[in-house]
Chains A and B, each alone.
Chain A
Amino acid sequence: EAQVTQNPRYLITVTGKKLTVTCSQNMNHEYMSWYRQDPGLGLRQIYYSMNVEVTDKGDVPEGYKVSRKEKRNFPLILESPSPNQTSLYFCASRSQGGGYEQYFGPGTRLTVT
């Protein structure tokens, strides 16, 4: 089954404790992206990757890092989480081909206390 998976699905942590949210896709997609969803703001892009070893900032990159060492994986790293990073996070992927349809993971709900 074609899918995007994320882990963990739920995470409660404390300020300053480094964490990583993993994302993996099995569709051989070149493009991957991270979004955060906040009430009243919709989804906003954090980082994206056009292919292996090619990453760039989205609209709200502050406080986040990413890496793309393999085509299928695109982890999101919070080096020193803060309460304003409490949010629902989605990973997405798509082919570089036409249509621009993005496939989303199930989401990771992060709470930073």
Chain B
Amino acid sequence: GNSVTQMEGPVTLSEEAFLTINCTYTATGYPSLFWYVQYPGEGLQLLLKATKADDKGSNKGFEATYRKETTSFHLEKGSVQVSDSAVYFCALSARGGGNEKLTFGTGTRLTIIP
């Protein structure tokens, strides 16, 4: 079946540091890939997505590239801010079959200290 493995947390960084959160996946076919963010006390918000190999998703300074050869979708940001503190989920959605449910990783809690 489909699965997503992402970097164990928690991750603590200083403001303006470089961020990488690793994500790899196992899926049949060609899934769409997503990063969702969950701020304290809130629901999940889509951060970025990529629907085919070599696509780069980007939003709010975050980027991730769909790497089919390494089955990866690592999240990066060049300079993090305190407001980026949240839980980040990598997810995939396999195409076809109607459900196209999201399969999530376990989440990575990120804390940015001033």
Which residues in A have some Cβ–Cβ distance to B below 8 Å?
A: 4, 31, 33, 35, 40-45, 48, 50, 56, 58-59, 90, 92, 98-107
Contacts and interface: CB of A to CB of B under 8 A. Distances in A.
A36 B105 CA distance: 13
Contact of A40 (B42, B45, B89, B106): B106
B99 A101 contact: no
Interface string B92-114: 01010011111011110000000
Nearest to A109: B41
Given A42-B89, A42-B106, A101-B49, A106 B34 contact: no
A90 B98 contact: no
User: Which bucket holds chain B's interface residue count?
Assistant: 20 to 34
B43 A42 contact: no
Contacts of A31: 100
B45 A43 contact: no
Contacts of A48: 99, 101
Nearest to A3: B43
Given A56-B99, A101-B49, A104-B43, A43 B89 contact: yes
B105 A106 contact: no
A99 B43 CA distance: 20
Contact of B106 (A41, A56, A103, A105): A41
Interface string B63-100: 00000000000000000000000000100010100111
